Structure 1
Amino acid sequence: MLDYVIIGGAQAGLSMAYHLKKMEKKFVVIDGEKEIGASWLNRWDSLKLFTPTEYNHLPGMKFNASKGHYPTKFEVSNYFKLYVEKFQIPLQLDTLITSVRKNEKGFYVSYKDGEIQTKNVIVATGPFHIPYTPPCHTKISETVSQMHSNYYKRVDQLQKGDALVVGAGDSGYQILDEISKDKNRTVYFSGNTNVKSLPQQFLGKTLWWWFTLIGFLSYSKYSWIGKRINSSVQPVIGTDVKEILSRENVIAVGRTKDALNSEIEFEKDKISTIKNIVWATGYRPNFKWIEGLELDEDGYPKNYRGVSNINGLFFIGLPWMFTRGSATLGGVSKDAKYLADIISKKNKQ
């Protein structure tokens, strides 16, 4: 029997593995992908972090890049691989967990070809589980190429003709920026055009330097200001929203309302010339594979700083698990240290 099974091999899982290694626990990190860093490599090719190098360190090892550099997804993946190598983290890849259940002996972590028994489980699968696409997508003609941003890699995936990008988050605006650089293609945008856009540099300092100075990423979700930040529309960082929306070939059409064959209905128009759609419409959580787990109204596990209602079951890397930075590459370290301290105290009892 293992002491711990960590489910998920990205920044959250690796941060916890670092602490378990220091505590000399018997554990394994399990991931459904075939290589470490695949969760980043699966995203679009031009993706860069909007946090500079100095804010991307996992515990015990600095991100090896110059200060002020904004790493690519390839650099993040390579950093994870070096991290695993340095700390000799035990891995079991290409293993999709199908269920976690507990009895008097401990936890049984099941997958297609077997089962692992462990005293404790740390779920580090992150916030991005099931790509969400609005129901009206099923009414659209098969001649229109549709893909969720989770599967978008580069512009050459698109067929010739007009395109539509749906979604006003960082992903939506970054993909809109990339696609609309082709001036010969009309790109329609469906989403909020009143979002705030913050530059990566301000008065000679990075945005994250200012965030750290004012404590923006450190306010607890339970504090008054934390609740205000959490409930407000999140700004788009490092992408000039106004400049993109001002391009002659970009047309904002408001919310997507409905569709039928090749005609798509928006708040501001009905359009039938669209040949490509990228749905940057987010994800829905999926924790139904964990037996006995209590979920909140948004489908996330009920927990306090990663400690769940099931004794011995922990979480890390959830959005706003404790602060705004809980699910970020650099911010997850604080939550990992907190959980490590909880585990250490539990061992002494």
Structure 2
Amino acid sequence: MPSEETEVVVVGAGQAGVAMSEHLGALGIPHLVLERHGIAERWRSQRWDSLVANGPAWHDRFPGMEFPHIAPDAFPSKEQVADYFVAYAENIGAPIRCGVEVTSVHKHTGRPGFRVETSEGSIDARFVVAATGPFQRPVIPPIVPDGAVPVQIHSSGYRNPGQLPAGAVLVVGAGSSGVQIADELRRTGRRVFLSVGPHDRPPREYRGRDFCWWLGVLGLWDAQTPAQGAEHVTIAVSGARGGHTVDFRALADTGIELVGLTASYGDGILRFAPDLATNIALGDAKYLGLLRAADAYIDRNGLDLPEEPEAHLLGPDPQCVTVPRLELDLAEAGVTSIVWATGFATDYSWLDVDAFDEKGRPNQRRGVSCEPGVYFLGLPWLSRRGSSFIWGVWHDARYVADHIATRRGYLAYGTTDQPVAAQATRKNREGAMTSTNEDRELKAPIVTGGHTRIRPFNTRDTYPEQSLDNDLCQAVVAGNTVYVRGQIGQDLATSESVGIGNAEAQAEQAMSNIKMLLEEAGSRMEHLVKLTIYLIDPRYREAVYRAVGRWTKGVHPISTGLVVSALARPEWLCEIDAIAVIPEEDRA
């Protein structure tokens, strides 16, 4: 039976697969997304009942759609997250086939591409994207033998306290999952032990800003190379009950007994490493370091944010830290359950290609593997720290899609089926224009209705995730008046967003764009007569207006400031449009 054919097969329809489909579709690249279960199924079936997202709704989403019926600073439930991706996939018309399991991928012999074997038949594809993410195989360290306690489960199998037999519970792992599960169990009146290893615990909120915002303005989301071993350090942060900073001292005060890293087991006795105090101290150091960096940023930029000196105060170490328990007789302590919140391993056993290193890890750079035509998406630190977050996956997918489009252009060279080069396609999609002569010819001004239109574009290209088909431009010259479209923190030469999380940096880029567009229109900054400034938060006003003031020194335009609920994409914090009038003596 002949196999089906397509350009790209994307394996997995979680957040990575949906993002990949959006960008491939926007570039006009034929593709299929294969999912053995349902869209974003792991959010529904491999999470505990009370789980909420660890990031607020304004931050942890794709640019093309907000979470419905959720306040921007709230934390969506697991079901709401899953529903979000189902709705998003429907909105973009993603060609997803659920209930189709990929069993193997082999490279063709003597011709480009791959044979993808599935539970529904074979598919030939030029490219394959492994978008299955990092949460493939639950990892339970081989420490406690089966039968030592009635129940041992991984956190992915935990649902609620009623699932476990009566008795005390040991939770192993002090990342977000372990901490939240331990806290939930303790609130039901159970005796709980929490095994705490090395961790990072950022403040949930500091001086009126969520830690996601702080990582953005401090540039920490963009860190590209983790410190040695940082890939394996868990992050203890919680969106539960409206969100709060994880404080192990406070957990101990509620009755949870903290112990060190779970080390070994024998004769009914579980042994812990004598590292609890060190692990707590190192987590505190990272927490305090972020607070100091935030304070320095506020001072450097003159932001008016409320002081929070109490956040720097750490309470005394509880007795379980100063005199740590090194052994636990499970029977004597009444421990009937162990919940292993110890992470996951990837499983690419179906991907039979030479795309892995000697340890079986994907050998890739920004998702592009060493095996031409094979890509990875959804992995932590794929390109930067933010890669494991929903919005970070979306940006990583855009890079991978562009790489695929570029490679298609090379492969099609000299054939009758030659696609548009990826760079040009992407620039059309973003409405951008580089400084090259070729791009200037492609984006030359046009005259319609008697007025000159600078950098014309269509919203079908700039906002492919939205059902729009509007012909617009970046500026209009009408007589001696120049109207400049609202500019945001986006480099017009590359279409890349800049200053993510930093309103002042975005305003600086917007004003730079306005200057460039005025000059292309035959005007200059001195001709400005009016600015309209849109902010998504009034607390950004001072930072944005400082940037504007540097560009308009001595010009004295009028300005209007408006606060809006959101802009076109969640990373944009401000937008500025402008009107300039060219004096008669300056007109060419």
TM-score (ref. length: structure 2): 0.55
Could you tell me how far apart the structure 2 residues matched to 1:159 and 1:62 are?
40
Greater shift, 156-165 or 228-237, is seen at: 228-237
CA contact (8 A) 1:262 1:274 kept: no
Could you tell me how far apart the structure 2 residues matched to 1:164 and 1:95 are?
37
Task: Mark the CA change 1:71 to 1:109 in structure 2 (over 3 Å): closer, same or farther.
Answer: same
Task: Mark the CA change 1:164 to 1:234 in structure 2 (over 3 Å): closer, same or farther.
Answer: closer
CA contact (8 A) 2:231 2:380 kept: no
Could you tell me how far apart the structure 2 residues matched to 1:229 and 1:146 are?
28
Alignment gaps of 5+ in structure 1: none
1:321-341 residue CA offsets vs partner (Å, 9 max, x unmatched) = 110111211111211111122
2:25 to 21, 39, 42: 21
State whether structure 2 residue 51 is matched by structure 1 residue 47. yes
Task: Mark the CA change 1:288 to 1:229 in structure 2 (over 3 Å): closer, same or farther.
Answer: closer
Structure 2 partner of 1:182: 188
Structure 1 partner of 2:91: 86
CA contact (8 A) 1:139 1:261 kept: no
Alignment of 1:54-133 (within 5 A): 54-64=58-68, 65-103=70-108, 104-133=111-140
1:158-205 residue CA offsets vs partner (Å, 9 max, x unmatched) = 11011110112111111111111123x21112232x744333211011
1:294-336 residue CA offsets vs partner (Å, 9 max, x unmatched) = 3246532001111111111111111111101112111112111
Which structure has the larger Rg? 2
When the two chains are superposed, the root-mean-square deviation of aligned CA atoms in Å is 2.1
1:215 to 219, 244, 261: 219
State whether structure 2 residue 363 is matched by structure 1 residue 302. yes
TM-score (ref. length: structure 1): 0.91
Report how far residue 262 of structure 1 moved.
Answer: 4.9
1:223-243 residue CA offsets vs partner (Å, 9 max, x unmatched) = xxx436936844412333321
Structure 2 partner of 1:227: 227
1:259 to 253, 265, 269: 265
1:266-294 residue CA offsets vs partner (Å, 9 max, x unmatched) = 34113122101101111112223212233
What secondary structure does 1:121 align onto? strand
Structure 2 partner of 1:37: 40
Amino acid of the residue matched to residue 137 of structure 1? V
Alignment of 1:169-208 (within 5 A): 169-183=175-189, 185-192=190-197, 195-208=199-212
Alignment gaps of 5+ in structure 2: 239-245, 274-325, 411-588
CA contact (8 A) 1:140 1:261 kept: no
Amino acid of the residue matched to residue 133 of structure 2? G
CA contact (8 A) 1:18 1:59 kept: no
Task: Mark the CA change 1:86 to 1:231 in structure 2 (over 3 Å): closer, same or farther.
Answer: closer
Could you tell me how far apart the structure 2 residues matched to 1:213 and 1:241 are?
27
CA contact (8 A) 2:150 2:337 kept: yes
Could you tell me how far apart the structure 1 residues matched to 2:36 and 2:231 are?
32
CA contact (8 A) 1:126 1:317 kept: yes
CA contact (8 A) 2:355 2:374 kept: no
1:48-106 residue CA offsets vs partner (Å, 9 max, x unmatched) = 11211111222433333321111111111110111111111111112222211111252
What secondary structure does 1:137 align onto? coil
Could you tell me how far apart the structure 2 residues matched to 1:220 and 1:229 are?
14
What secondary structure does 1:54 align onto? coil
Structure 2 partner of 1:236: 236
Amino acid of the residue matched to residue 30 of structure 1? L
Amino acid of the residue matched to residue 237 of structure 2? I
Amino acid of the residue matched to residue 132 of structure 2? T
Question: In percent, how many aligned pairs have the same letter?
Answer: 33
Could you tell me how far apart the structure 1 residues matched to 2:140 and 2:234 are?
20
Could you tell me how far apart the structure 1 residues matched to 2:262 and 2:106 are?
41
State whether structure 2 residue 328 is matched by structure 1 residue 270. yes
CA contact (8 A) 2:152 2:337 kept: yes
Could you tell me how far apart the structure 2 residues matched to 1:63 and 1:16 are?
19
CA contact (8 A) 1:29 1:90 kept: yes
CA contact (8 A) 1:41 1:77 kept: yes
CA contact (8 A) 2:161 2:188 kept: no
CA contact (8 A) 2:170 2:195 kept: yes
State whether structure 2 residue 348 is matched by structure 1 residue 287. yes
Structure richer in helix, relative to its length: 2
CA contact (8 A) 2:60 2:391 kept: yes
Amino acid of the residue matched to residue 182 of structure 1? T
Amino acid of the residue matched to residue 112 of structure 1? S
Structure 1 partner of 2:510: none
Task: Mark the CA change 1:68 to 1:229 in structure 2 (over 3 Å): closer, same or farther.
Answer: farther
Could you tell me how far apart the structure 2 residues matched to 1:45 and 1:154 are?
6
Could you tell me how far apart the structure 1 residues matched to 2:160 and 2:359 are?
31
Where has structure 1 moved over 6 Å in runs of 4 or more? Answer: none
Higher relative contact order (CA 8 A, sep 6+): 1
Amino acid of the residue matched to residue 72 of structure 1? S
State whether structure 2 residue 173 is matched by structure 1 residue 167. yes
Could you tell me how far apart the structure 2 residues matched to 1:80 and 1:100 are?
26
Could you tell me how far apart the structure 2 residues matched to 1:340 and 1:26 are?
12
Task: Mark the CA change 1:232 to 1:28 in structure 2 (over 3 Å): closer, same or farther.
Answer: closer
What secondary structure does 1:138 align onto? coil
Task: Mark the CA change 1:232 to 1:23 in structure 2 (over 3 Å): closer, same or farther.
Answer: closer
Amino acid of the residue matched to residue 315 of structure 1? F
